[in-house]
Amino acid sequence: MTIYIAASPIGIIAVNEQRNPISFISFKNDAKKRADELESCGKKAISDSEKKLLSQIKAKDKIIFETKKEGYEHEFPNHAGDYIRLNMLDLARKNSILKEKSELLSIIHETNTELTVRKMRNSVGEDKLLLQAINTTDELAKQVNTMSMRLREWYGYYFPELVELTGSNENLAKYVSETLFRTDVKGIIVDESMGVNLKNEDLEEIKKYAKKIIILIDEKKELEKYIERKATQVAPNMTGIVGGLLVSRLIAHAGTLEKLAGFPSSTIQILGAEKALFRYLKGAGTSPKHGLIFQSSFIQRAPNQSRGKIARTLASKLSLAAKMDFYKHKGDLGKKYKNDIEEILKKEMAKKGKGKPFAQNKKQFNKNKKFGKKRFSQKRR
Amino acid sequence: MAITGVSQFGKDYCTRNATPGKKYYDERIIRKGKDEFRVWDPTKSKLGAAIYKGLRNVPIFKGMKILYLGISTGTTSSHISDLIGNEGVIYGVEFSPRSVRDLVPMTKKRKNIVPILGDARTPEDWANRIEKVDMIYEDVAQPDQTDILIRNAKIFLKKGGSIMIAVKARSINVAVNPNEIFAAERKKIEKYFTITDAINLNPLEKDHIFFVGKLR
């Protein structure tokens, strides 16, 4: 005889081939315990309640579970599952689990809420933290830029020469928040300034604003340090090749480290250049050589004609490293890969000037020109 | 013809709020005497859009059990929850933890919605947590969404049960004309179900069609 076994929020049931219940083990009347029981029923090992149920069944019978169990067959959905999902209310009444009909709903509701909440607690991986952090740095950078532009305009009324001279936003904000009043610096003579004379009260407001910019800049720097640390923990091999910031950007673009590890290296190569890729696929323009990985110093140092090659090498090493990082491969290969790419880069740099300057496939280029819009086909990156 | 439980005030379709004083998304509230009605926003809910576009045969009744695949944050299901009352139940399956984060607080107020964090593609993961149902509602926007519906219907749908599915042409194939996709999906569904209504949701939802059907 074949016996089918399935679990439910109220308990575990065994039915025979004719779909008649043989035995039933009810769970303890508590949402957390029910959730525990259901969780252990979902695992491969036999749970205590299942042992109890099995002891009530003759040893000769063939047993089929609804979920995968070690040493037993499984079938989904099986007769037991069908039976209990259809007759849960009757079964609960017979085994005096309920006093009222409406209690069944609250049992199911509470058990499921508990299981869902438990799963939610494990739903955010460390890679998601990296994603939020890197997006925050981008937003901070944007914020600092807009605020600095305002500062330049505002402080420019008072000391235009200095604003003109100072290139970096950070330095200007530092000067305003620390020194504030006009002083002689590098070739500027205060007495010759064409700035308006502002009252102290007016200048104080500008100073407060500059201090806020400094705070944001510091915050961004700290966040970047945090990202470097965190990326080394989350993706040590990838970080060994290109550094934490770019790794975080790649993870953020893919969504999770799991997705990034699933990408082939060609996808990683052009991650972030989707617009150019689809434009190329439509028949206009040329295919992009690199997306986000352009930010890596390998590609920026490479001579023009071998950037595609370096991009391919870098992407392939990154995709290997991503897989290692996601599947927690032991051993540190990031550094080795970095050296490998460094060597290839050296060879390419030595070739500089000797090879063909820029192998442009004229036929392809003309074809693209014919089909595509003009503005797409003219520039080649 | 009116839809059971859905009241019409002017142009607006509303459901009586089962939890007076509480709102779940940015819906408008209309008060008539002691009763409070929540306006069904057709731009946020595909079932709402179908009703605005003329769907009258809505197979939702008091005390019904419903399996909702892709419940998301629970905009549509809050209205279905109004319709089925305290006796009924919605088993809401959602894959994205971010959406479930917004869903769970609502299910604490509406006890007839059961939140399940799981994948509609793999019912074996959460099958032992629910009962069989009278209706399956699917809104998952996946390339194989019809197959997902059929598989779940085989496992969870009672005899004579009905289905509602919002088919999104753009998530099946962007390159093909939506009407061709709708025809192909309709054929697939008609193997197992009799389609009673097919409503194009244009312009409320672009390239969407809403099928209502009954198990053969």
Among A209-223, A280-294, B50-64, B74-88, the minimum mean pLDDT is found in: A280-294
Name the pLDDT band for A97 (thresholds 50, 70, 90): confident
Work out the mean pLDDT of chain A and round it to a whole number.
Answer: 89
Asked whether residue A361 is domain-assigned, the answer is no
Name the pLDDT band for A191 (thresholds 50, 70, 90): confident
Asked whether residue A364 is domain-assigned, the answer is no
Q: What is the token pair recorded at A334?
A: 């990031």
The length of chain B is 216
B74 touches chain A (CB under 8 A): no
* Shortest Cα distance, chain A CAs vs residue B115, angstroms: 6
Asked whether residue A170 is domain-assigned, the answer is yes
Q: Which of A76, A106, A112 sits opposite B116 (nearest CB)?
A: A112
The whole-angstrom separation of Cα A145 and Cα A164 is: 16
Asked whether residue A27 is domain-assigned, the answer is yes
Q: What is the pLDDT of residues A204-260, one digit of tens each?
A: 999 999 999 999 999 999 999 999 999 999 999 999 999 999 999 999 999 999 999
- DSSP alpha helix (H) spans, chain B: 46-52, 75-84, 97-109, 145-156, 169-172, 178-190
> B155 to chain A: nearest residue by CA?
A77
Say yes or no to pLDDT of A355 above 70. no
Asked whether residue A268 is domain-assigned, the answer is yes
Asked if residue B209 lies in contact with residue B169, where contact means CB atoms within 8 angstroms, the answer is yes
The whole-angstrom separation of Cα A104 and Cα A20 is: 22
* Residues A222, A258 within the same domain: no
Q: Which of A175, A200, A231 is the last residue of a domain?
A: A231
Say yes or no to pLDDT of B60 above 70. yes
The whole-angstrom separation of Cα A69 and Cα A80 is: 15
Interface with chain B: mutation pick from A112, A114, A256, highest number of B CBs within 10 Å = A112
> How would you label B10-33 residue by residue, b for 16+ Cβ within 10 Å and e otherwise?
eebbbbbbbbeeeebeebeebeee
Q: Residue A251 sits in a domain of what CATH number? A: 1.10.246.90
Give the C-alpha distances (Å, rounded to integers) separating A220 from A36, A171, A172: 43, 15, 17
* Shortest Cα distance, chain B CAs vs residue A116, angstroms: 5
Asked if residue A13 lies in contact with residue A21, where contact means CB atoms within 8 angstroms, the answer is yes
**Inter-chain touch B111–A115, beta carbons under 8 Å:** no
**Single-letter amino acid code for the residue at A11:** G
Mean per-residue pLDDT for A291-297? 93
Say yes or no to pLDDT of A360 above 80. no
* Residues A58, A16 within the same domain: yes
DSSP letter (8 states) at residue A188: B
Say yes or no to pLDDT of A305 above 90. no
Say yes or no to pLDDT of A195 above 70. yes
Name the pLDDT band for B85 (thresholds 50, 70, 90): very high
Residue A159 pLDDT: 92
Find the radius of gyration of the CA atoms of chain A: 33
Element (H, E) at A162: helix A160-165
Q: Residue A225 sits in a domain of what CATH number? A: 1.10.287.4070
Residue A183 pLDDT: 85
**pTM of this structure:** 0.82
**Inter-chain touch B108–A88, beta carbons under 8 Å:** no
Asked if residue B23 lies in contact with residue B31, where contact means CB atoms within 8 angstroms, the answer is no
Name the pLDDT band for A380 (thresholds 50, 70, 90): very low
Q: Give 3-state DSSP helix, strand, coil % of chain B, rounded to 5.
A: 30, 30, 40
* Residues A176, A249 within the same domain: no
Asked if residue A120 lies in contact with residue B101, where contact means CB atoms within 8 angstroms, the answer is yes
* Residues A226, A300 within the same domain: no
Asked whether residue A160 is domain-assigned, the answer is yes
* Residues A338, A283 within the same domain: yes
Residue A184 pLDDT: 81
* Residues A304, A217 within the same domain: no
**Inter-chain touch B86–A38, beta carbons under 8 Å:** no
Say yes or no to pLDDT of A377 above 50. no
* Residues A76, A137 within the same domain: no
**Burial label, A35 (beta-carbon count in 10 A; 0-12, 13-18, 19+):** buried
Question: Chain B residues with CB inside 8 Å of A76's CB?
Answer: 124, 127
Q: Which of B97, B107, B130 sits opposite A113 (nearest CB)?
A: B107
Mean per-residue pLDDT for A48-70? 89
Say yes or no to pLDDT of A356 above 80. no
Question: Chain A residues with CB inside 8 Å of B155's CB?
Answer: 77
Question: Chain B residues with CB inside 8 Å of A6's CB?
Answer: 128
A255 touches chain B (CB under 8 A): no
Say yes or no to pLDDT of A270 above 90. yes
One DSSP character per residue, B40-73 reads --TTT-HHHHHHHTT-------TT-EEEEES-TT
* Residues A132, A38 within the same domain: no
Element (H, E) at A238: helix A236-242
Interface with chain B: mutation pick from A10, A79, A109, A127, highest number of B CBs within 10 Å = A109
Residue A278 pLDDT: 86
Interface with chain A: mutation pick from B129, B133, B159, highest number of A CBs within 10 Å = B129
Q: Specify the higher pLDDT residue, A272 or B2.
A: A272
Q: Can you tell me which residue has the tokens 């894959």?
A: B95
The whole-angstrom separation of Cα A284 and Cα A250 is: 26
Q: What is the pLDDT of residues B103-139, one digit of tens each?
A: 999 999 999 999 999 999 999 999 999 999 999 999 9
Q: Which of B87, B111, B127 sits opposite A109 (nearest CB)?
A: B111
Residue A379 pLDDT: 46
> B130 to chain A: nearest residue by CA?
A85
B156 touches chain A (CB under 8 A): yes
Asked whether residue A365 is domain-assigned, the answer is no
Asked if residue B94 lies in contact with residue B72, where contact means CB atoms within 8 angstroms, the answer is yes
The whole-angstrom separation of Cα A143 and Cα A173 is: 14
Mean per-residue pLDDT for A130-137? 95
**Inter-chain touch A6–B128, beta carbons under 8 Å:** yes
Q: Which of A123, A145, A165 is the last residue of a domain?
A: A123
Name the pLDDT band for A353 (thresholds 50, 70, 90): low
Asked whether residue A369 is domain-assigned, the answer is no
* Residues A245, A331 within the same domain: yes
Structural domains counted in chain A: 3
One DSSP character per residue, A350-381 reads HHTTTS-S----HHHHHHHHHHS-HHHHH---
* Residues A270, A287 within the same domain: yes
Q: Which of A208, A231, A254 is the last residue of a domain?
A: A231
Domain that holds residue A16: 2-123
Question: Chain A residues with CB inside 8 Å of B132's CB?
Answer: 82, 85-86
Name the pLDDT band for A368 (thresholds 50, 70, 90): low
> B152 to chain A: nearest residue by CA?
A77
> A88 to chain B: nearest residue by CA?
B131
Question: Chain B residues with CB inside 8 Å of A9's CB?
Answer: 128-129
Q: What is the pLDDT of residues B41-53, one digit of tens each?
A: 999 999 999 999 9
* Shortest Cα distance, chain A CAs vs residue B214, angstroms: 19
* Shortest Cα distance, chain B CAs vs residue A121, angstroms: 10
Mean per-residue pLDDT for B71-96? 95
Mean per-residue pLDDT for A42-62? 89
Say yes or no to pLDDT of A140 above 90. yes
* Residues A11, A109 within the same domain: yes
One DSSP character per residue, B164-189 reads EEEEEHHHH-SSS-HHHHHHHHHHHH
Q: Can you tell me which residue has the tokens 């779909």?
A: A19
B89 touches chain A (CB under 8 A): yes
* Residues A225, A247 within the same domain: no
Residue A376 pLDDT: 47
Asked if residue B99 lies in contact with residue B111, where contact means CB atoms within 8 angstroms, the answer is no
Name the pLDDT band for A381 (thresholds 50, 70, 90): very low
**Burial label, B97 (beta-carbon count in 10 A; 0-12, 13-18, 19+):** middle
Q: Specify the higher pLDDT residue, B192 or A377.
A: B192
